[in-house]
Structure 1
Amino acid sequence: MSAYAWVNALGGLLIVTSTMVVLARSVKKSAILYALQSFVLVLLLVSLAFATDSEVLFMWSASAFITKVVLVPGMLLFLQRKLGADSQDLGERLSPFKSITLIALEVLICFAAIQGVDLYTAAEVKPALAISLAHFFIGLTCIVSQRNIVKQIFGYCLMENGSHVTLALLAPQAPELVEIGIATDAIFAVLIMVLMVLKIYKTTKTLDTRDLMELRG
């Protein structure tokens, strides 16, 4: 099995893990599944590094492990401990069947769209590239379809993972500084969102967006 085949296979596994993140009903389960997905992303970066002979991607994979597998899930688990019992049921707007159907539709659309891409860097990894683009829409779907503001943070994380993989596939020789910038933005964005959720929960005692639609003086 070639290194490019591993990249595409791991891309398929990313879809499975992202779907599990969307369907998970508690913060703890979602955080653990997100860490698992991020570990798959790290393996994808390592496989791509071997395939393209890119030393930069090895550094990307190391920094992605620290930020996405350790730091971000750690912050989300910290949020889970602070929320206590209210982190055990995140609720949902869409049923699991509807969520899976919508994700499958998004993946098919991205596979159709990517067929028109004719770039040398994407020639061997079109399936993985289509999946990485689908991740952006899966994250967006999670944000729009979930009524719990904590689950919307996971939607952002899925979108960020998708953009991370897309950049690695299209520009495997991009400087490490680019990866550092992406990772730093993600960490600080999640940190700010976690602090905002804690503030909102402390003030309103709810995490449901339906209860946060009205401004109260």
Structure 2
Amino acid sequence: MNIWTNIFILGLVLTNFRLLATSRLGAVIQTTVFQAFALSAFMLTMAERPWPLLLLFLALLTLIVKGVILPWLLRKAMRETGVQREIEPIVGYNTSVITGMVLLGLSFMIFIPLKTSVSQESAFLLPAALFTTLTGLMIIISRKNALTQVVGYLVMENGVYAFGAALAVEEPLLVEMGVLLDVFVAVFVMGITVYQISREFDNIDTDRLSELKD
């Protein structure tokens, strides 16, 4: 296996633990940039050289959308709302990291029976992709801040994107470009929604929505 592929897959796993362990929104958003770089990089390291022009374009597009545009939108929303940290998560950070370890072990256990039927690269990438998806889902359900939940959605989509890179056979580039467009639109709309919630209610903790009355 290409050693660089292993490094980028390991980087994807480590960024998930950083997301689970930090309360600072700036660090959370920056970590999604690292994930974007890892996703773009291992797409190239898994492909045979010379790289097709379309693959280079997709890798660059992934880096621009996931690593530049979406983080910029999230940082802008963070500045507009004036929120810097996730104050009171539903699940504490130490508990989140421990749960992440369990999810990582479970992800590898699920794909052990498939190890002989997939390539060596995919044998490691598939558990990492599942772990990334589960990490995003955990962030969505265990955090109260709307911005953090948007990041959770983005991380969950990163896991789906990694699955596509590992398993797509017929027209994988078109599938992944479609996913990129979907997540760009979704995060853009959520960013606008977060700003509007903050302007109306002076807070973006989603648990406060349960206190709304006629």
TM-score past 0.5 threshold: yes
Amino acid at match of 1:186: V
Aligned to 1:17, what secondary structure does the other structure show?
A: helix
Deviations 1:124-177 (A, max 9, x none): 421221010111111100011111111111110110000001110112663432
Contact 1:146 1:152 in 2 (8 A): yes
Q: Which range is displaced more, 32-41 or 99-108?
A: 32-41
Matching residue within 84, 89, 106 for 1:88: 84
* SS across alignment from 2:203: coil
Comparing 166-175 and 151-160, the one that deviates more = 166-175
Provide the identity percentage.
25
CA distance in 2, matches of 1:41, 1:161: 8
Name the CA shift for 1:67/1:75 in 2 (closer, same or farther; >3 Å). same
C-alpha distance in structure 2 between counterparts of 1:153 and 1:62, whole Å: 23
Map 1:21-100 to 2 at 5 A: 21-50=19-48, 55=52, 56-84=54-82, 87-91=83-87, 92-100=89-97
2-side partners of 1:206 and 1:81: how far apart?
Answer: 13
Amino acid at match of 1:27: L
Q: Which runs of 5+ in 1 are unaligned?
A: none
1:66-103 per-residue CA deviation (whole Å, 9 max, x = no partner) reads 1111111111111112112xx21222222222111111
3-state SS of 1:207 partner: coil
Residue of structure 2 in register with 1:160 after alignment: 157
- What residue identity is the alignment partner of 1:73? P
Number of equivalent positions: 212
How large is the RMSD of aligned CA atoms in angstroms? 2.0
Give the whole-Å Cα distance in 1 for the aligned partners of 2:199 and 2:122: 46
Deviates more, 1:140-149 or 1:110-119: 110-119
Q: Cα distance 1:58–1:172, how it changes in 2: closer, same or farther (>3 A)?
A: farther
Shift, 1:121, TM fit: 4.6
2:139 aligned to which of 139, 142, 148: 142
The Cα of 1:48 is off from its aligned counterpart by: 1.3
CA–CA distance in 1 between the matches of 2:143 and 2:111?
28
Which consecutive residues of structure 2, in runs of 5 or more, have no partner in the other structure? none
Structure 1 Cα separation of the partners of residues 35 and 177 of structure 2: 20
Following superposition, the deviation at residue 123 of structure 1 comes to 4.1
What are the superposed Cα offsets for residues 8-49 of structure 1, whole Å, 9 maximum, x if unpaired?
A: 331121111122123332322221121122112211112112
SS at match of 1:25: coil
Report the TM-score when normalising by structure 2. Answer: 0.90
SS class of match (1:202): helix
What does 1:66-215 correspond to in 2, within 5 Å? 66-84=64-82, 87-91=83-87, 92-117=89-114, 120-171=117-168, 174-215=171-212
